[in-house]
Structure 1
Amino acid sequence: MFQFDSSPALVVVDMQNGFCHKDGSFARLGIQSDPTTIVPRINELLSKFRAAGLPVYFLKTGYKEDYSDRRGRDRQDRLEQLQGLLQGTWDADILDELTPSPGDNVVNKTRNSCFYQTSLENTLRERGVGHLIFTGVGTDVCVETSARDAYQLNFAVTTISDATGTCNESDHLAALHALRNFGGTASTSEVIEALEKLRDSNHV
């Protein structure tokens, strides 16, 4: 039975127009994660975490106008030609269906890992967060990299199997299989059940 190891926080990874919207830069590159099934589950988790007064962190990829902070730059790179994922643009914005609330935290990143040159680790420590619950895209790229790094930083880690996604099912399942060694996985319903038990025990 799933339960929280310590004070949890929900982490929503890269649910941005550029990665997930049909008009986003990745769709124009012929690469897209279909968020149809996971958006409702992420929203359900957001609602439960907010109601319990637990922290929510939105991660998003956003680059400077000249892409000087992007790894492996290439002048012929099509993402740059499309002006994709630039900070402050629609492409870098979180999907409208998942708009952060005023109390949520939004962290910009420029690498697959949410911990690379960001303030996230310090923010989590200051908040007393010990268990990170990962949702979002892509399961095999930014979600997996961030979950692995969180595990190495001694956070308890759980990746939500039905609230994460990537470009195809085989890559999604392979990433979930790998993550069994980095905190493991759980379903949305299992996390919600654990939240309800936590709320009852704390009389939230």
Structure 2
Amino acid sequence: MVHLDSAPALLVVDMQNGFCHKQGSFAKMGMQSEPTAIVPHINELRSAFRAANIPVFFLRTGYNADYSDRRGRDRRDSVEKLQGLIRGSWDANILDELTPEPDEKVVDKTRNSGFFRTSLESTLKERGVNHLIVTGVGTDVCVESTARDAYQMNFAVTTVSDATGTCNKPDHLAALHALRMFGGTASTAEVIEALQKSQDLRNQRMS
């Protein structure tokens, strides 16, 4: 059973055309993360968090046109050959179904973890956030890297099992198993139930 701390936030990781769309660069490499099952869950969580006036953040991977800011860059690499995930390109854009609202901050990154040389930590602290609810792709790469770092930075962390995904089910399940030690996991329904309970308690205190 998940318990939401006093100041949670929803984090949507790398739900971009390059990683998730059938015409994206990773699909062309045979590595697409299938978004069909998780997009409705992410949007359900967004709606619930927005209704509760709880912040929503997006992470977005994007590189310079010459890939000078990409780790281990290699011109023989498929991402570079396909001109994938260049900042400002269609490939780097967030899926249309998840287009961020004006008040949903997007944090750009160049590494797996959303905390590496980004404004994410300072932004969360400015907003007083102490609990991250993590969704997105890939469960075993950018989601796991970000969740682990958040845990080490003393944030409470819950990774949403049915609002995360990666290229195949075994890798997804293995990452969720590992993340039990870094804040744990919960389903979309469990997170929304916990959110409702926390809202009910807050309303009771105010009445």
TM range (shorter): over 0.9
State the AA in 1 paired with 2:114: C
State the AA in 1 paired with 2:82: L
Deviation at 1:187, TM superposition (A): 0.5
Which consecutive residues of structure 2, in runs of 5 or more, have no partner in the other structure?
none
Deviation at 1:5, TM superposition (A): 2.5
Q: Which residue of 2 aligns with 1:150?
A: 150
Following the alignment from structure 1 to structure 2, what is the Cα–Cα distance between the partners of residues 134 and 113? Answer: 12
Following the alignment from structure 2 to structure 1, what is the Cα–Cα distance between the partners of residues 154 and 9? Answer: 15
Following the alignment from structure 1 to structure 2, what is the Cα–Cα distance between the partners of residues 125 and 73? Answer: 32
Following the alignment from structure 2 to structure 1, what is the Cα–Cα distance between the partners of residues 2 and 44? Answer: 18
Counterparts of 1:38-77 in structure 2 under 5 Å? Answer: 38-77=38-77
Deviation at 1:202, TM superposition (A): 2.3
* Deviation beyond 6 Å, 4+ runs, structure 1: none
Quote the RMSD (CA, aligned, Å).
Answer: 1.0
The alignment's TM-score, normalised by the length of structure 1, stands at 0.98
Q: Note the alpha carbon deviations across 1:32-85, whole angstroms, 9 max, x for none.
A: 111110000000000001111101010010001110000011111111111100
Aligned length, in residue pairs: 204
Following the alignment from structure 1 to structure 2, what is the Cα–Cα distance between the partners of residues 163 and 84? Answer: 24
Which consecutive residues of structure 1, in runs of 5 or more, have no partner in the other structure?
none
Q: Which residue of 2 aligns with 1:187?
A: 187
Counterparts of 1:50-199 in structure 2 under 5 Å? Answer: 50-199=50-199
Give the fraction of aligned pairs with identical amino acids, expressed as a percent: 73
Following the alignment from structure 2 to structure 1, what is the Cα–Cα distance between the partners of residues 120 and 186? Answer: 23
Following the alignment from structure 2 to structure 1, what is the Cα–Cα distance between the partners of residues 73 and 102? Answer: 34
Q: Does 1:8 align with 2:8?
A: yes
SS of 2:173's equivalent?
Answer: helix
Following the alignment from structure 1 to structure 2, what is the Cα–Cα distance between the partners of residues 28 and 2? Answer: 38
State the AA in 2 paired with 1:124: L
State the AA in 2 paired with 1:79: V
Of 39-48 and 192-201, more deviation after overlay is shown by 192-201
Deviation at 1:140, TM superposition (A): 0.2
Following the alignment from structure 2 to structure 1, what is the Cα–Cα distance between the partners of residues 148 and 36? Answer: 26
SS of 2:150's equivalent?
Answer: helix
